[in-house]
């Protein structure tokens, strides 16, 4: 069924629940306009500079990192429950070597506002344009976090994306 | 009525709605153990390092900035609808010159986990310990944001607070 546009905060609990498990699809486009997806389990939603903002952390080693730097935008996509397994798949292979969306039978579709595509099969899509980015400061996290989550010094950049459009399928809650 | 402890994500929509308007009370304690409150209209909630996190931006000029640096923690408090006017009050005077809580007839109460107090009259209280902090990078925001929101170069630090406990009054939704 066709999606409708909804407010940026309308599906907060559903989105953060899905972020927690199985993960959300962070979708971007490389410099050859090929769509790419990675799975994120971390991020936050809120308000900065009087704008609704989705903050996503991306390690500098990730293929997605260069894509977002290139276009200055990204989309965040909530998988339906029946496709939840795809979060694990998109989180374990790299867009450098795989056309993940084709392999996962997911369909990229043009966004309304940003260059990065949205995923048709996902039940909620956030279109975001980067309004700020800053880096994790290694000395400013507890040493346990540094040791366990950054053993190779591959730190995150936090991309602050202004939420410009949100699309949702009908009956989102039943499809999670 | 007594508050109960709830999950960190249980009142997301209510909290972000209140962040948007009238604002939330960010409460900390100075080096003389005096509680202080400031009003925030910006911030985000989510997950980082597999922990629930409340991110709050605080300008370095603020009295609260030194308090949070000192204790390494803060609380975020949601005012009931009938006290919404106090958000404007706590947002316009400084804790350097005012005992805002006493003047606003708000009652600081001991937190369960952190040093900063919670506010008894607030319907939801988040206890947060700083797990990371980094700064807004002036060159990484649009020039319009820099011009309109930082005319004096008084930039924000983002404090990432792990949510360690959340207290909520019964019937939160009816009291907003």
Average per-residue pLDDT for chain B? 96
Q: How many CB atoms lie within 10 A of CB A137?
A: 12
The shortest C-alpha distance from A132 to chain B (Å) reads 5
Contact A163, A127 (CB under 8 A): yes
The reply to whether residue B47 touches residue A12, judged by beta carbons under 8 angstroms, is no
Over residues B121-143, the mean pLDDT reads: 97
The shortest C-alpha distance from A43 to chain B (Å) reads 5
pLDDT at A73: 98
Residues paired with residue B130 on neighbouring β-strands, in sequence order? B161
pLDDT at B33: 95
B17 contact residues in A (CB cutoff 8 A): 9
Asked whether the predicted pLDDT for residue A155 surpasses 90, the reply is yes
The reply to whether residue B140 touches residue A149, judged by beta carbons under 8 angstroms, is no
The reply to whether residue A44 touches residue B45, judged by beta carbons under 8 angstroms, is yes
Query: Which residues neighbour B147 within 8 Å (Cβ) at sequence distance 6 or greater?
Result: none
Count A/B contacts: CB-CB distance under 8 Å.
104
Asked whether the predicted pLDDT for residue B1 surpasses 90, the reply is no
Asked whether the predicted pLDDT for residue A167 surpasses 90, the reply is yes
Pull the structure tokens for residue B97: 């010159």
Q: CA quadruple B136, B88, A43, A162: dihedral positive or negative? A: negative
pLDDT at A49: 98
CA distances from B136 to B91, B111, B150 (A): 21, 29, 11
To probe the interface with A, which of B44, B135, B136, B161 has the most A CB atoms within 10 Å? B44
pLDDT at B95: 87
What is the three-class DSSP state of A147? helix
The shortest CB-CB distance from B131 to any of A20, A55, A145 is to A145
Asked whether the predicted pLDDT for residue B4 surpasses 80, the reply is yes
Alpha helix positions (H), chain A: 12-20, 63-71, 85-90, 100-103, 143-149, 172-175
CATH class given for the domain over B4-175: mainly beta
The ipTM estimated for the assembled molecules is 0.96
Beta strand extents in B10-154 (DSSP E only): 24-29, 35-40, 43-48, 51-59, 73-78, 108-109, 118-119, 124-135
The reply to whether residue B13 touches residue A9, judged by beta carbons under 8 angstroms, is yes
Asked whether the predicted pLDDT for residue A1 surpasses 90, the reply is no
């Amino acid at each position: 069924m066709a999606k409708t546009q909804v407010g940026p905060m309308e599906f907060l609990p559903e989105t953060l629940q899905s972020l927690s498990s199985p993960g959300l699809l962070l979708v971007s486009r490389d410099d050859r306009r090929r769509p790419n997806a990675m799975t994120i389990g971390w991020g936050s939603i809120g308000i900065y500079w009087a704008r609704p903002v989705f903050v996503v952390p991306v390690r500098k080693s990730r293929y997605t990192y260069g894509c977002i730097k290139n276009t200055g935008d990204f989309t965040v996509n909530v998988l339906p429950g029946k496709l939840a397994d795809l979060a694990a798949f998109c989180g374990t292979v790299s867009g450098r070597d795989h056309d993940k969306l084709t392999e996962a039978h997911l369909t990229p579709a043009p966004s309304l506002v940003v260059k990065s595509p949205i995923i048709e099969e996902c039940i909620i899509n956030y279109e975001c344009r980067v309004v700020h980015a800053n880096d994790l400061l290694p000395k400013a996290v507890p040493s346990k976090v540094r040791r366990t989550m950054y053993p190779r010094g591959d730190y995150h950049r936090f991309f602050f994306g202004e939420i410009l459009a949100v699309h949702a399928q009908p009956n989102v809650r039943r499809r999670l």
